[in-house]
Each structure stands twice: as C-alpha cells, then as structure tokens.
C-alpha cells in the first residue's frame, strides 16, 4: 500500500566508516587476548565505538534520512527545513485533494496535517518525488479510517462538498485521477485495490461527472442518493 523507499545500505558505506569499523573490531579482538577483566576495557571501547561511530550514524542516515555527522539537533533541523520546503511546494495540490476527498473541511485540514506529520516521521532517505505519492497514500489511509470511525463509509456530512454524493472509493479514484494526476495503476497500488476495481469505481463516478446537464447544472447533482448506486 504506502510504500517507503528501500533502505540503501550500500550508500551508507563510506571509507571513514569502514576504517572505523575495522579499527573497532581490531580493538575488540585485541581485548580478547588480554587476561581476565582487563579485557573488558578494549572490548567495551571497541563495541561502543562500533555503535557510536558506525552503526548509529548509518542508522541515522539510512533509516531517518538525516545528514551524516555526530550532532543530532542540527541534522533534525536540516531535515525539517527540507521537508517543509518540499511539502510547501506540494501544499496547494494536497489541500485541494484533502478538501475534495473529505466532505468536512475541518476533518480535511486535520487529516492533511496528520498525513504530513506521519510522512515526515516515516520517510527514509532523500526526498524524492515519491514523497508526494506516499503522503497521498497516508492521507487516503487516514480518510478511510476516519470514515470507519464515523461509522459510515459513504454519505454526505452536514457541510458535504460537491463530491459528497459519491461513494468514498469513487471519490478517491476521481480525485486522485483528475486532480492528483495519478494513473489508474498508481491508484490501484496506492489504495490496495485491483485496477479493474479502480476502473469500475471510475466508471460509476464518471457517469455522474462526465458532462453538464441541459440546464447547465453538473450531472453529479442529478444523482438522487448514493445508496441507490449500490442497488
């Protein structure tokens, strides 16, 4: 469903880390040769060096996408600024999608913020264009959960939008295809459905959105009730 970039272990291997790792292991091996409790000093120092100078920086880089270096706070600030910059560029589209998907504007705002927060926490490695798709995926997941939590998978809320008369899955397909410019295959992968199911939802939704009515009103409004759509 929401796929994160794969961990790139090889990219974290640099000469400095390799040298430090070899040195740390050599110290551990040297400690092995020392008698009794004296051996604890080099073994402990070697293992701590391995953890602090090799393992943790690699984890920081691979898992959290933070810049290499020993200090955490500057790396976190850099990463936060980078994420904000990227999200800012995507902000307009993301807000449109959120408000089109959620009938309730307050819920749309809250879920979009949650999606940004989760994406910022989970995204590993460099910030690629895939981050937008991932954030959308998280947003879709949150909207689905919210719908389940509200006890209804479809139906307009008091302040429902124009798309509120569509079933949630149809709404998702319409918004992701028309406004997020995702292909049906991408939508299928993102929503964990088959392409045929996505196309089916698209067809059902398209019947209501394909053209204006004679009196100038969108066909969407002619739909009496979303419940009848299931019959």
Partner 1 sequence: MNRELRQRLLDEADVRSAGYPADLAGAVGAGMVRVRRKFMWASVTAVAVALALTVAFVAWRIAVIPPPPPTLESIAVTSVSQSLRPAATIPLTATGRYSDGSSRRLRDGVEWASSNPAVATVDSAGVVTAVAAGTAELTATLTGVSGQLVLVVQAGGAKLTGVHVSPETATVDQGGILQLLAEGSYSDGSRGKLKGPVQWTSSNPGIVAVDGTGIAAAVAPGTATITASQAGLRGTSVITVPPAPKVVTALSVNPAQLTLKEGQTAQLEAVATYSDGSSATVGNVTWETSPPGSTVAEVDATGLVTARGIGSTAIVATLPGAGGQLLTGRADVAVVPTVKSIKVSPAGPLQPEPGTTVQLTAVVSYSDGSRGSVVEWASSRPLVASVDSSGLVTAVKEGDVEITATADGVTGNPVTILVRTSPD
**Cβ(1)–Cβ(137) below 8 Å:** yes
Pick 66 or 140: Cβ nearer partner 1:
66
Which of 3, 63, 192, 222 is the binder for partner 1 (CB under 8 A)? 63
Interacting positions 180-199 with partner 1 (CB under 8 A): none
Pick 38 or 192: Cβ nearer partner 1:
38
Pick 88 or 228: Cβ nearer partner 1:
88
The yes or no reply on residue 162 touching partner 1 (CB under 8 A) is yes
The interface region with partner 1, picked from 1-9, 109-117, 141-149, 222-230 by CB under 8 A, is 109-117
The interface region with partner 1, picked from 3-11, 78-86, 126-134, 187-195 by CB under 8 A, is 78-86
Distance CA 124, CA 60 (A): 9
Interacting positions 6-45 with partner 1 (CB under 8 A): 28, 31-32, 35-37, 39-40, 43-44
Q: Binders of partner 1: how many residues, by CB under 8 A? A: 64
Which of 87, 134, 180, 187 is the binder for partner 1 (CB under 8 A)? 87
DSSP secondary structure letters along the chain: --PPPPP-HHHH--HHHHHHHHHHHHHHHHHHHS-GGGGHHHHHHHHHHIIIIIIHHHHHHHTT-PPSSS-HHHHHHHHHHHHHHHHHHHHHHHHHHHHHH-SSHHHHHHHHHHHHHHHHHH--SS--THHHHHHHHHHHHHHHHHHHHHT-SS---TT--GGGGS-HHHHHHHHHHHTS---HHHHHHHHT--HHHHHHHHHHHHHHHSSB-TTS-BGGGG---HHHHH-
Distance CA 219, CA 41 (A): 78
The yes or no reply on residue 215 touching partner 1 (CB under 8 A) is no
Which of 47, 127, 157, 204 is the binder for partner 1 (CB under 8 A)? 47
Pick 49 or 191: Cβ nearer partner 1:
49
Which of 67, 118, 195, 200 is the binder for partner 1 (CB under 8 A)? 118
Distance CA 162, CA 103 (A): 8
Residues that bind partner 1 (CB under 8 A): 28, 31-32, 35-37, 39-40, 43-44, 47-48, 50-52, 55-56, 59-60, 63-64, 66, 72, 76, 79-80, 83-84, 87-88, 91, 95-96, 98-100, 105-106, 108-109, 112-114, 116-121, 161-163, 174, 178-179, 206, 209-212, 216, 218-220
């Amino acid at each position: 469903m929401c796929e994160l970039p794969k961990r790139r272990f090889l990219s974290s291997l640099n000469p400095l880390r390799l040298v430090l790792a070899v040195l740390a292991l050599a110290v551990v091996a040297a400690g092995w040769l020392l008698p009794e409790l004296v051996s604890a000093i080099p073994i402990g120092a070697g293992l701590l060096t391995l953890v602090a100078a090799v393992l943790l920086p690699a984890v920081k880089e691979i898992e959290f996408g933070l810049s290499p270096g020993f200090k955490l706070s500057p790396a976190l600030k850099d990463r936060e600024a980078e994420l904000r910059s990227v999200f800012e560029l995507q902000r307009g589209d993301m807000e449109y999608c959120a408000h089109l998907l959620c009938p309730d504007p307050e819920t749309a705002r809250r879920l979009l913020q949650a999606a940004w927060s989760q994406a910022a926490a989970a995204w590993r490695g460099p910030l690629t264009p895939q981050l937008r798709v991932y954030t959308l995926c998280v947003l879709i997941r949150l909207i689905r959960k919210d719908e389940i939590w509200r006890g209804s998978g479809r139906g307009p809320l008091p302040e429902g939008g124009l798309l509120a008369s569509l079933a949630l899955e149809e709404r998702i397909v319409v918004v992701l295809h028309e406004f997020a410019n995702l292909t049906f295959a991408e939508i299928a992968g993102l929503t964990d459905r088959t392409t045929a199911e996505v196309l089916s939802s698209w067809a059902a939704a398209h019947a209501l959105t394909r053209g204006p009515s004679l009196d100038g009103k969108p066909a969407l409004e002619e739909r009496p009730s979303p419940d009848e759509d299931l019959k």
